[in-house]
Amino acid sequence: MTGSEMYWLVKLDDIIFFFGSVGGTSLAIGLIFAIAGGVMVDNKTIRLRVYLGVLIPLTLICLTSFTLNSFIPSTKQMAAIMVVPPLINKVGGNDRIKAMPSKIITLADDWIKELSPKK
């Protein structure tokens, strides 16, 4: 397992959240424009400029924030990305470590047989 594979494994939930947030933000902005368009009767251009002057920067800030939040891993995620792939690669190439789980299961099975009541 490579660091890149681990990154995508860890970050997929955040990326899915990002795309959902972009859709929700787009829907909210569309609703605001629909409501604002129905309310504006006089001085359309002034109100439209105010809405555009406020909503466009807020939208850009929101989308930038969601993008950065989705693709930059947290400290715990970065630690996992850095530690887990070399550990998996080390264990994957070591036959002695691979044999341990079967030995542990055999040992536990023998122990349970010894402790079980005789009938």
State residue 8's pLDDT score.
Answer: 80
DSSP letter string over 48-92?
A: HHHHHHHHHHHHHHHHHHHHHHHHS--HHHHHHHHHHHHHHHHHH
pLDDT band at 1 (very low <50, low <70, confident <90, very high): low
Average pLDDT over residues 89-118: 77
Domain segments of the chain: what residues?
3-115
Span 38-89, pLDDT tens digits: 555 555 555 666 667 777 777 777 777 777 777 777 777 887 888 888 877 7
